[in-house]
Amino acid sequence: MAVVATPHDELGCRDEQPPSAGDPIPPGSELIEVRVAGLRQLFNAMDASPFRDRDLDPDAEELIANWAREAPREAKLALLVSVSRAPGLADEPAALRDVVHEFFAHRSAAARTRLHDLLRTGRISLLVGLVFLSAAVGLARLVASRLNGHEVGELFREGLVICGWVAMWRPLEIFLYGWWPIRAQARLYDRLSVMPVRLVYMDNQVPESWRGDWPAVPAPRTPPQSSRRSLVSGGSQAGSIAAPDRGPVTPGSTAGDIPRVTRSGKPT
């Protein structure tokens, strides 16, 4: 899939602006510009969801997210998609905006779920670490009092104290360093889930080209591989196995009365 950033000067230096549709871009917005041959390239071909709920292609998601991440935090974001075809259905800008907003809103919710689970793990780890640290310090004091003046006792005391603080490493990592990158990611997705989306049509030479693109045609989907082999009754396909007609089994017949099938498919 070819998703590339569109140089800002390429759109601004033309004498005749190409047709566009969609949300108005507020002045001073950080413009995220993406160029595709067709809107179908924006979607993940492995996603089997309905076309209004499809995931964005990983390349498109990475390009948009990285561009937004490099923008100032206070800047308003806007997405400008340049597509190399003529305008299509009247509702395709709104459909693309809804898909983009829904996708990044889902990403934001998933990031907040990860943050909630991480903080829950941190609280449990903190409780376990404090209990272990208290037990280690208490045991270290007991060993020091029993082996007072011995180098072995001092060694055991220091080792137990170190082990107690090592147990605090995981909760300290979570509460000091682990949670804020996830919250920053969720906030970034929140900004992307409300940004205006506008379409620019770069090629008007084939007016009916939109009929083969999304949303007139669902985004491409990679069909799952089936591991089952079907048996075809009849010899219509090459290599198929035809089951012979055995006929009714009358009362009193034995297993020897039922015809057997050889490799050639002829009953014996």
Alpha carbon distance 150, 137 (integer Å) = 18
Distance (Å, whole) CA 205 – CA 208? 9
Comparison of pLDDT for 191 and 48, the residue scoring more: 191
Is the pLDDT at 239 greater than 80, yes or no?
Answer: no
For residue 213, count CB atoms less than 10 angstroms from its CB and return exposed for 0-12, middle for 13-18, buried for 19 or more.
Answer: buried
- Residue 224 burial (CB < 10 Å; 0-12/13-18/19+)? exposed
Q: How far apart are CA 246 and CA 137, in angstroms?
A: 83
- Answer for the pair 118, 179: CB distance below 8 angstroms, yes or no: yes
The pLDDT of residue 24 = 93
pLDDT(224) > 60: no
CA distance 245 to 259: 9
Strand partners, 31: 78
Predicted pLDDT at 240: 39
Handedness of CA 152, 156, 158, 162 (dihedral sign): positive
Could you report the per-residue pLDDT of 7-65, keeping only the tens digit for each?
Answer: 544 444 445 688 888 899 999 899 999 998 888 888 886 665 655 567 888 999 999 99
State residue 50's pLDDT score: 55
What is the structure's pLDDT at 246?
43
Whole-number Å distance between alpha carbons of 105 and 55: 12
